[in-house]
Each structure stands twice: as structure tokens, then as C-alpha cells.
């Protein structure tokens, strides 16, 4: 069994984005509650660890002092056009009570996970309050203020680790890709809805890194309506071969749940069964995995997906019982008592006919442009 760390605390539950924001911080606490109730946070190899605020010296490895100052000032009620120009106080990134403290604590949770992995004290760690992949050094965007994913990759890379960053949030992991666009020690792979139809408008398949980083930034845009089978085909064609070629020491995994069918902000059509398969693929590499939350705007679906992901990540799938082992076909139920897996969702012929050819074209492009750079 992997030594598994779940990162959460009562302290972090006190922060909330404004009521009208689609971003719900309480997803983390609810995930923890579901896992606790189901007995999935106990065991000799499982422990809960509280996040601690990220140190300023660490934050400055990615964010500018000017930006951090503006964010902290905004929390204290001092806000100006300069801060607004950095994305602070916009509709997506509002100033709420404790915004700086929350962003720094949430990021600190991911960094706690990175440290435990670096010290060899954990094999897997999950911070459901992490995954703020849209933050840039001097810009808040897409509900993100402090980029915990980029910071964790930086810390791990500084310690000499080869880092594979995998981002399956429905939005392109632009802030992290930006951080490592010209580096070859951190490979970033992002699967997301086609940027033509979704924020942030980046992450096309021809964005492959530059200079020393050429071939180490991988973008796999997915057509509207992409469903489990199509997604997993694309994943299997592209991701395991690249991970194998790159041979990372550690995997940082952003598990946004806004790819799921029914998400109000996006247009993909997955079920959480796809996430189980993705995690099982990652586990085959036998490397430590630092997993974070991310997007996910249908709260119930997101909580269930993250609870299921933790269960698989921490090696507890057997504890889910027969129905979970059956693979989403038989005996499934979407209510809480019925297990964590989603029911399969029906896929139309029209969906197949629009999704599959577009996806195949993307896979062909990636194989032509990126694979040869890794001897594939």
C-alpha cells in the first residue's frame, strides 16, 4: 500500500469566495467528510496532514514581490488600478475576506505534499484545496491567485527531480505551462477542452515548448462532447508513451473535475470512471504522485470524483466493494450509499461522429510534432 497523505484542516474550511462565485472552496471539506464517513481516511499507511501557509521566499520563486504585495494589500482593503491590472478584484478573481491568507494556505498544502514526497515520507499526497493552475507570476486569473502547481514543480525540480506535470482539468494549465515552457526538467502535459471554445484560449497542439523546452510542453485539446472512451483512447495514445520516454522521478497531477458531464462551465462529457483509469495508468510507473484539486463547478460530482480518486490513489479500491470493481457497468448508482463511481452516460452517434475525427487529427499532429523529439 502506498504511504498516503490527505492534506486538509478545519482552518482552511473557513474561507469562501463570494456567494455568487462558481468556485466553491467547500468542495475540499466535503470530500474529506465523505471519505471520513466511508472509512477511507484510516489505515496504517494513511494519514491526514494540515496545510501550512507557503513561505514568502517560496512564493517568490514564481510570483513577483509586487504582485504578492498587491494581493495582500487587497485583503487589507487597499486596492487600486494597479492591482486590477494584475487581475486582482475582477469577477473571476474577487477580493474576499482572507483572500491572501487562503491563497497562501491552499498553496502551502500542495507544498507540504511536495516536501513529504521529497523527504521520502509519502508515496502519494492529495491536496483537494490545490490546483490553481491559471495564476501567472504577476496575474490572478480563472479563480486562481497563487499557483501551487507551478510552485510544487519548481521545488521538486530544484531538488533535482525530473517532474512530470499532468493536468486533466478541462481548462488548459496555462500558468504551469508558462513556468516551464523553456525547460526540459519539467514536462507539462495538459488535456483540456479545445481553447477555441473555452477559457483561457491557449493550449493548442502546436504549443510544444521552446528552446531547451521544445517538446516538453504537450497540449492535447479535446473537442466539445468528448466522452470517456474517446478521452481514454487519446490519453493512452499520448500520455503513457511520453511519461515512459521522459522517465520522471515524480508526478504532479492536477485533477480538475470540470471535465465531467454536467459541469456548468464546460462542455466535455466524462464520468469519474475515466479518472480511475488515468490514475491506474499513472500508478504503473511506480513514481510518487502529488495530486491536487482544481476546477469542478458541479459540487456533488466534483466531491464524488475526488473521493473516488483518493480511494484509488491510496490503494483502497478493494474497499469500495463489488460494485466499484465491476467497472461502471453493473450495479451502479449515483447516490451516496451506492458508491462513488458515476453511472455511465449515453453517447450519441452524432457525438461519436464529431468527436472522433477531430480527436484523431490532434493525435496525429502530436505524434508528428512531439514524439520524434523523444525518440518515439
Q: Which residues bind Zn ion (CB under 5 A)?
A: 169-171, 256, 258, 295
CB of 201 to Zn ion, least distance (A): 13
User: How far apart are alpha carbons 108 and 50 in whole angstroms?
Assistant: 9
Query: Between residues 146 and 157, which has the closer beta carbon with respect to Zn ion?
Result: 146
C-alpha cell at 247: 522517465
Q: Cα-atom radius of gyration of the chain, to the nearest Å?
A: 19
User: How far apart are alpha carbons 293 and 110 in whole angstroms?
Assistant: 10
Angle, helices 26-37/299-313, rounded to nearest 10 degrees: 50
CB of 197 to Zn ion, least distance (A): 13
User: Which of these is catalytic: 8, 133, 134, 171?
Assistant: 134
C-alpha cell at 245: 520516454
User: How far apart are alpha carbons 95 and 83 in whole angstroms?
Assistant: 11
H helix intervals, 174-249: 174-179, 228-246
Query: Between residues 170 and 312, which has the closer beta carbon with respect to Zn ion?
Result: 170
Query: Between residues 293 and 315, which has the closer beta carbon with respect to Zn ion?
Result: 293
Query: Between residues 3 and 171, which has the closer beta carbon with respect to Zn ion?
Result: 171
Query: Between residues 51 and 203, which has the closer beta carbon with respect to Zn ion?
Result: 203
CB of 134 to Zn ion, least distance (A): 8
User: How far apart are alpha carbons 157 and 186 in whole angstroms?
Assistant: 7
CB of 298 to Zn ion, least distance (A): 12
How many CB atoms neighbour CB 82 within 10 A?
12
Burial class (CB in 10 A: 0-12, 13-18, 19+), 162: middle
Query: Between residues 30 and 171, which has the closer beta carbon with respect to Zn ion?
Result: 171
- Give yes or no: 134 in active site: yes
CB of 199 to Zn ion, least distance (A): 8
Beta-bridged to residue 289, according to DSSP, are 124, 251
Angle, helices 272-283/228-246, rounded to nearest 10 degrees: 20
Q: Are 288 and 314 in contact (CB under 8 A)?
A: no
Q: Are 11 and 50 in contact (CB under 8 A)?
A: yes
CB of 60 to Zn ion, least distance (A): 26
Distant-in-sequence, close-in-space partners of 214: CB < 8 Å, separation ≥ 6 = 208, 373
Catalytically active residues, by annotation: 134
Amino acid at each position: 500500500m502506498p504511504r498516503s497523505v490527505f492534506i486538509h484542516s478545519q482552518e482552511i474550511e473557513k474561507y469562501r469566495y463570494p456567494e455568487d462565485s462558481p468556485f466553491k472552496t467547500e468542495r475540499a471539506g466535503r470530500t474529506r467528510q465523505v471519505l471520513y464517513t466511508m472509512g477511507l481516511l484510516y489505515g496504517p499507511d494513511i494519514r491526514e496532514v494540515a496545510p501550512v501557509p507557503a513561505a514568502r521566499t517560496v512564493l517568490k520563486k514564481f510570483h513577483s514581490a509586487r504582485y504578492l504585495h498587491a494581493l495582500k494589500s487587497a485583503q487589507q482593503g487597499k486596492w487600486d488600478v494597479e492591482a486590477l491590472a494584475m487581475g486582482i478584484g475582477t469577477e473571476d478573481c474577487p477580493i474576499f475576506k482572507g483572500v491572501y491568507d487562503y491563497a497562501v494556505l491552499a498553496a502551502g498544502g500542495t507544498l507540504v505534499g511536495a516536501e513529504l514526497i521529497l523527504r521520502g515520507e509519502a508515496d502519494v499526497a492529495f491536496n483537494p484545496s490545490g490546483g490553481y493552475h491559471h495564476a501567472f507570476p504577476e496575474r490572478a486569473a480563472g479563480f486562481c491567485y497563487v499557483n501551487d502547481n507551478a510552485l510544487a514543480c519548481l521545488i521538486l525540480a530544484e531538488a533535482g527531480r525530473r517532474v512530470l506535470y499532468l493536468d486533466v482539468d478541462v481548462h488548459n494549465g496555462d500558468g504551469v505551462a508558462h513556468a516551464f515552457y523553456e525547460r526540459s526538467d519539467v514536462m507539462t502535459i495538459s488535456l483540456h477542452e479545445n481553447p477555441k471554445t473555452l477559457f483561457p484560449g491557449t493550449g493548442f497542439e502546436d504549443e510544444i515548448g521552446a528552446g531547451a523546452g521544445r517538446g516538453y510542453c504537450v497540449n492535447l485539446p479535446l473537442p466539445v462532447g468528448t466522452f470517456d472512451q474517446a478521452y481514454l483512447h487519446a490519453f493512452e495514445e499520448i500520455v503513457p508513451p511520453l511519461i515512459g520516454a521522459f522517465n520522471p522521478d515524480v508526478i504532479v497531477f492536477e485533477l480538475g473535475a470540470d471535465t465531467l458531464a454536467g459541469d456548468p462551465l464546460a462542455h466535455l462529457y466524462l464520468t469519474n470512471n475515466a479518472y480511475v483509469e488515468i490514475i491506474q495508468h499513472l500508478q504503473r510507473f511506480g513514481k510518487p504522485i502529488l495530486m491536487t484539486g482544481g476546477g469542478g463547478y458541479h459540487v456533488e460530482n466534483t466531491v464524488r470524483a475526488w473521493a473516488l480518486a483518493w480511494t484509488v490513489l491510496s490503494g483502497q479500491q478493494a474497499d469500495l466493494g463489488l460494485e466499484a470493481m465491476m467497472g461502471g457497468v453493473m450495479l451502479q448508482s449515483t447516490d451516496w450509499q451506492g458508491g462513488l463511481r458515476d453511472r455511465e452516460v449515453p453517447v450519441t452517434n452524432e457525438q461519436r461522429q464529431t468527436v472522433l475525427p477531430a480527436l484523431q487529427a490532434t493525435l496525429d499532429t502530436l505524434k508528428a510534432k512531439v514524439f520524434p523529439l523523444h525518440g518515439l
